[in-house]
């Protein structure tokens, strides 16, 4: 049996950032990762809030050195080819007004290597299969079929879509969001914008918002592209995943032009039913972070931001607990995280039910409204000064009414 202070399940950004912070604080940390890095994972567009958390944990310079694509904002394009440009620098005074587009196999590897450099014991190709909550012992198997047990003072589940502890401890609950799927690939040769907007993410509406697509440009000239829609919308097409993607590329007026010279460079992939939620984000001797807690929807690229925010917060609380303090996990972790998650959740709802489109494409918007939205879409979803943060639903609906009255 191996022993450590903190055992982390999963070496994605959530696991690595928590590991980096805990190592700085002097704890012994072991990370168990099922795959071998670098490994592919979807989710390549970051938000400015990530920079703040990376900076706080001494990781931002490392990321800035990687020559990732500069991301200054997002452009939402409707079927009339009207563009709503969200410029991240036009926020509510927050320090970071830009972010990066990253290939996750590279970004995640940089962070995991840094955790190793700071002293983490990282075992790759090791899958966690069991957890004894009474004794805080995790059991894992390696690729040769060998089994090892790890006793920790605290266990952090950062296993993302693996959802290890939610499954083992019956913490999973269905998401209140509809079952959607994403079909995606990487391409080369699409027509890019010039200048500062080259690195913006495009969010392209298709077929009366029955589907939307992301276009994420990388600094090496390749691009990630994918479509998100309800399962039935894809199934009813009767097409294969690749043919479905091709047919949307050809039919859509904006895409057919933008992708006229583009070619796919990797096989088309698909991920289904990714939205998930949990009954609890913590318990005696353990906590969940990142996608192992709640995952909403990819439309605002919030996943890595929430993963980093939760791991930063959870690492602080683990430190306090291991130093003997009484930690109010409900208030200081779960309720704190839910503030930001619920703001994004309401924006996701407003995106799919069309309320956000009404705001985006309204003929006139006050400067303060534009800045408040930019700040939310930058990931500053805990900023109580922002109009949209407290009671987001009511605020969005009030704005829609004002737009309607003035139209």
Ligand X SMILES: Cc1cc2nc3c(=O)[nH]c(=O)nc-3n(C[C@H](O)[C@H](O)[C@H](O)COP(=O)(O)OP(=O)(O)OC[C@H]3O[C@@H](n4cnc5c(N)ncnc54)[C@H](O)[C@@H]3O)c2cc1C
Which residues contact ligand X by CB under 6 A? Answer: 9-15, 32-35, 41-46, 127-128, 158-162, 164, 182, 271, 274, 290-291, 295, 298, 301, 303-305, 307
CB of 60 to ligand X, least distance (A): 16
Classify each residue of 64-81 as buried b or exposed e, where b means 16 or more C-beta atoms within 10 Å of its C-beta: eeeebbebbbbbbbbeee
Considering the complex, state which of residue 30 and residue 387 has its C-beta at the smaller distance from ligand X: 30
Which residue, 18 or 399, has its beta carbon nearer to ligand X?
Answer: 18
Rounded to whole angstroms, the Cα distance separating 346 from 396 reads 9
In the bound state with ligand X, the residue whose beta carbon lies nearer, of 213 and 350, is 213
What residues form DSSP beta bridges with 203? 76, 214
Query: Smallest distance, Å, CB 407 to ligand X?
Result: 33
Shortest Å, Cβ 180 to ligand X: 9
Smaller CB separation from ligand X, 9 or 356: 9
Query: To the nearest whole angstrom, how small is the minimum distance from the Cβ of residue 271 to ligand X?
Result: 5
Helix and strand numbers (H, E) in the chain are 14, 20
CA dist 255 and 336 (Å) reads: 40
Q: Whole-angstrom Cα distance, residue 169 to residue 132?
A: 10
Contact 342/392 with Cβ under 8 angstroms?
Answer: yes
Closer CB to ligand X, 311 or 399, in the complex: 311
Q: Which is nearer to ligand X, 16 or 94 (CB)?
A: 16
Q: Please, what is the minimum distance in Å from the beta carbon of residue 141 to ligand X?
A: 9
Both tokens assigned to 332: 């200081």
Shortest approach of ligand X to residue 111 CB, angstroms? 9
Which of 73, 48, 54, 56 minimizes the C-alpha distance to 13? 54
Please name the residue that has the structure tokens 């694509």.
Answer: 69
In this complex, which beta carbon is closest to ligand X, that of residue 38 or of residue 283? 38
Q: How far is the CB of 215 from ligand X (least distance, A)?
A: 11
Q: Which is nearer to ligand X, 42 or 322 (CB)?
A: 42
Q: Degrees (nearest 5) of the Cα angle 334, 292, 51?
A: 75
Provide the strand spans (E) within 1-157: 2-9, 29-33, 69-71, 73-77, 83-87, 99-101, 121-124, 126-132, 137-142, 147-157
Q: SS3 for 189? A: coil
Shortest reach from residue 401's CB to ligand X, in Å: 31
* Cβ-contact 359, 377 below 8 angstroms: no
Q: Half-sphere exposure (CA, 13 Å, Cβ side) for 44?
A: 31
């Amino acid at each position: 049996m191996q022993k450590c202070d903190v055992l982390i399940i999963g070496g994605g950004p959530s696991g690595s950032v928590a590991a980096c912070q805990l190592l700085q604080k002097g704890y012994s940390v072991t990370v168990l990762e099922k795959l071998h890095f670098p490994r592919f994972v979807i989710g390549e567009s970051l938000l400015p809030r990530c920079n703040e958390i990376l900076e706080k944990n001494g990781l931002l310079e490392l990321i800035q050195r990687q020559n990732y694509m500069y991301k200054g904002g997002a452009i939402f394009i409707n079927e009339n080819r009207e563009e709503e440009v969200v410029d991240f620098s036009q926020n509510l005074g927050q320090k970071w007004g830009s972010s990066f587009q990253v290939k996750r196999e590279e970004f995640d590897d940089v962070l995991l290597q840094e955790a190793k450099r700071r002293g983490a014991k990282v075992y790759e190709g090791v899958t966690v299969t069991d957890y004894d909550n009474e004794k805080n012992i995790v059991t894992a198997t390696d690729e040769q079929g060998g089994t090892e047990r790890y006793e920790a003072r605290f266990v952090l589940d950062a296993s993302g879509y693996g959802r290890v502890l939610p499954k083992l401890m019956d913490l999973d609950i269905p998401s209140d969001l509809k079952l959607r799927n994403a079909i995606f690939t990487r391409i080369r040769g699409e027509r890019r914008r010039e200048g500062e907007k080259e690195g913006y993410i495009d969010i392209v509406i298709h077929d009366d918002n029955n589907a939307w697509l992301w276009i994420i440009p990388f600094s090496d000239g390749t691009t990630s592209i994918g479509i998100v829609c309800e399962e039935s919308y894809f199934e009813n097409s009767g097409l294969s995943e690749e043919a479905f993607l091709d047919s949307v590329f050809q039919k859509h007026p904006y895409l057919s032009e933008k992708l006229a010279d583009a070619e796919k460079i990797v096989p088309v992939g698909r991920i289904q039913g990714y939205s998930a939620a949990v009954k609890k984000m913590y318990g005696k001797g353990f906590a969940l972070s990142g996608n192992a807690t709640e995952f909403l929807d990819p439309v605002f690229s919030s996943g890595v931001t929430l993963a980093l925010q939760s791991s930063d917060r959870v690492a602080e609380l683990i430190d306090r607990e291991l130093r003997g303090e009484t930690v109010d996990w409900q208030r200081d972790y779960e309720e704190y995280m839910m503030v930001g998650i619920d703001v994004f959740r309401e924006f996701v709802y407003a995106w799919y039910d069309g309320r956000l489109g009404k705001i985006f494409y309204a003929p006139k918007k006050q400067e303060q409204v534009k800045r408040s939205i930019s700040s939310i879409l930058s990931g500053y979803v805990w900023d109580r000064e922002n109009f949209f943060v407290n009671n987001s639903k009511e605020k969005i609906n009030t704005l829609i009414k004002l737009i309607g009255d003035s139209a």
